[in-house]
Amino acid sequence: MTSEFFAQNAKICPQRRKDYAEKIQSKRPENENLIKNILLVEDQESIRLVIKQWLTESGYNVYAVKDGDEGLAVVRSNPDIEFVLSDIVMKNMDGLEMLKKCRQAAPELPIVLMSGYTRDENIIEALRLGACDYLVKPFEKDQLLGVIQRADDLASARNRITNLHNFLSHLNIEFLIRSGDLSIATLQEIFRETLLKYTRLANKDLLNIAMVLEEAVLNAHEHGNLELESEWKDIYLKGESETLFEKRKEERLNLPEFAGRKVRLNLNIDQIKMEVSVEDEGDGYATDNIATEASGNPYGMGLMIISNLMDEIRFNDKGNCITFVKNLTGNNGHLDRGK
């Protein structure tokens, strides 16, 4: 697999994090980035070389190895490693086993796993085990850089934000945003700063919440307000490279009756839990189908991610509002003071 393969097949890659990836051009100067040393674990040499080249061209120091055994050895012996990107399916030690052992050796090290399948139970298992994000092959260079930059931005923000968790009784913030004005990256940044200030969530949990927020807001925006059908993602227009989904999305964002619809977000934080509600102005979704969407539907990955990373999810009767909850007490999602 070559860089040409990645470029030619990027159109079939899910368009997650595209909004955040576009912010790469305006990121902090290179010498201010906290992440500089990256471990790449990939058993296919051609893919390993392409990704290493991308990262090297972007100014990162890259340690590239071919399996989990070698990757774990690098993590244990080199405290300078600040980010890990690993394939899941490999000979010897696979990515999941390496992830578990890396979590023991370096609990706060951001680890992102790669999979060749859009719908992969291994991805869900990886997120349960502590991966902060995932990428589906083939992906674009900017998608990869966006994932790394998100982790870097979080580390930088944690260094400069004063935590006020001990003084918090209750915090409520509500956003009302037109679909035509929606910026998921901006929302993620606001949530990150707020959660850093008022909770003691670990970095991996904050990155997971950013992923969950993206899935929930995209669903409200695309399927709720814009009334786009998931199946359209598989329909390519004759003689064109874009899908029916992309074409209809562009058209409806230029129609006031769709672009003017709003997404309402409500964030509640207290000493016990974080609760987020995301509501659209669409017709709603049959709630009796939600369990199927989250388990067996080819396009249900977003709901699977939310249901596996959050402690509770629920829907209103109309089916146009999802609420997800993250507990802030005990061992689940709690970062003890001083760590």
- The residues, ordered by sequence, that sit 6+ positions from 329 with a Cβ below 8 Å of its Cβ are 271, 272, 273
Examine residue 32 and state whether it is found in any structural domain, yes or no. Answer: yes
Number of domain units in the chain: 2
What domain range is 208 assigned to?
A: 163-327
Q: How far apart are CA 177 and CA 260, in angstroms?
A: 9
Angle, helix 45-57 to helix 141-160, in steps of 10 degrees: 50
311 in Cβ contact with 332 (< 8 Å): yes
> How sure is the predictor about 334, in pLDDT bands with cuts at 50, 70 and 90?
very low
Say if residue 153 is in the same domain as residue 169.
no
User: What's this model's pTM, rounded to 2 decimal places?
Assistant: 0.79
CATH number of the domain within which 59 lies: 3.40.50.2300
> Is the predicted pLDDT of residue 280 greater than 70, yes or no?
yes
> How sure is the predictor about 299, in pLDDT bands with cuts at 50, 70 and 90?
low
Say if residue 139 is in the same domain as residue 274.
no
Which tokens in the block code for residue 98?
């390496």
pLDDT tens for 217-267 read 999 999 999 999 988 988 888 777 889 999 999 999 999 999 999 999 999
Examine residue 339 and state whether it is found in any structural domain, yes or no. Answer: no
Examine residue 337 and state whether it is found in any structural domain, yes or no. Answer: no
> How sure is the predictor about 328, in pLDDT bands with cuts at 50, 70 and 90?
very high
Q: How far apart are CA 188 and CA 193, in angstroms?
A: 9
Which tokens in the block code for residue 25?
């051009």
Q: Domain boundary residue among 113, 140, 158?
A: 158
> Is the predicted pLDDT of residue 9 greater than 80, yes or no?
no
Say if residue 120 is in the same domain as residue 261.
no
Which tokens in the block code for residue 1?
């697999």
Q: Domain boundary residue among 142, 158, 174?
A: 158
pLDDT tens for 131-177 read 999 998 889 999 999 999 999 999 888 888 888 988 999 999 999 99
Say if residue 199 is in the same domain as residue 142.
no
Say if residue 214 is in the same domain as residue 312.
yes
pLDDT tens for 37-84 read 999 999 999 999 999 999 999 999 999 999 999 999 999 999 999 999
Which tokens in the block code for residue 326?
């993250």
Say if residue 110 is in the same domain as residue 145.
yes
Say if residue 213 is in the same domain as residue 99.
no
